[in-house]
Amino acid sequence: MDDLLRRMEQYANNLEVLVSEKTEELSQEKRRSEELLYQVLPRPVAQQLMLGEMVQPEQFECVTIYFSDIVGFTSLCANSTPMQVVDFLNELYSTFDRIIGFYDVYKVETIGDAYMVVSGLPERNGDSHTREIGLMALAILDAVRSFTIAHQPDRVLQLRIGIHSGPVCAGVVGQKMPHYCLFGDAVNTASRMESTGQPLKIHVSEAAKQIFDKFGTFNLELRGEVELKGKGFVTTYWLLGCSDSDPRPPTPRVPSTIELDSNNPYPLVFMG
């Protein structure tokens, strides 16, 4: 009888340990799932989804949008192996991601060599969205000037940047793979600012320039009249610098709990 009681007690203890271990594993998986969602959606939007709430599309009167693109990317790819291209983009975007972490911005997506960032949503920040994007763009451009392409060290990385401010509509699209998307003419205009820009320069629209001027610290130079598809000729500017740059130097990157997972030997990279 005593032996039976001891065995039952031991079984109960083992069961308690097993339940505790499984509970901890479940908690870790939950944290990883939450972090994964936070990396693909803005935190306030992700929190709404986790609470089972419907995320309604929302209109924003004015945000600032950043687009950048690598000049000569097709040529670079033609002279690289697929793995070299992936390693290059991973290193470059990791550099960008470290920088944007210091600003009130949200990375909307990356498609190939295109990188899109916005400020002013989903949480509004007054006119600060233009300042945040401007400072971020200057920091990114500064980092690009000293960036070395590992497999083509003699090649100068040439990034073209465009900035525009205007109204957009934003919402979550998709259920299995939800994506926070922006819609509106401002998105197209920001993209046009990038495509009509020049390497290693920040091309700014008149709308964004007017908000930059409110701060009195940004140095902009008139570029002149530029033809934008669907808009005709418009006046644009170059963003040269900021006298009150509020520098926020990147710090060493801290791996996420997902990347630290011993069962996941490869860093998690989001292309979007």
pLDDT in tens, 142-194: 999 999 999 999 999 999 999 999 999 998 887 777 788 899 999 999 999 99
Mean residue pLDDT across the chain: 83
Interhelix angle 2-40/43-50, nearest 10 degrees: 140
Give me the pLDDT at residue 20, please: 73
Containing H/E element for 181? strand 179-183
Give me the pLDDT at residue 262, please: 39
Give me the pLDDT at residue 102, please: 92
Other CB atoms closer than 10 Å to residue 141's CB: what's the count? 17
CA atoms lying within 13 Å on the CB side of residue 107: 23
Give me the pLDDT at residue 175, please: 73
pLDDT in tens, 124-147: 999 999 999 999 999 999 999 999
Residues of the chain with pLDDT under 50: 250-272
Q: Over the range 186-197, which residues count as b (16 or more CB within 10 Å of their CB) and which as e?
A: bbbbbbbbbebb
What would the CATH number be for the domain defined by 56-242?
Answer: 3.30.70.1230
Other CB atoms closer than 10 Å to residue 262's CB: what's the count? 5
Containing H/E element for 23? helix 2-40
Give me the pLDDT at residue 263, please: 43
Backbone angles phi, psi at 29, to 5 degrees: -65, -40
* CA 152 and chain centroid, separation: 25
* CA 8 and chain centroid, separation: 55
Distances (CA, A) of 57 to 171, 176, 232: 4, 18, 31
Alpha carbon distance 247, 249 (integer Å): 6
User: Positive or negative CA dihedral for 236, 101, 242, 72?
Assistant: negative
Give me the pLDDT at residue 31, please: 64
Full 3-state SS string of 55-88: CCCEEEEEEEEEEEEECCHHHHHHCCCHHHHHHH
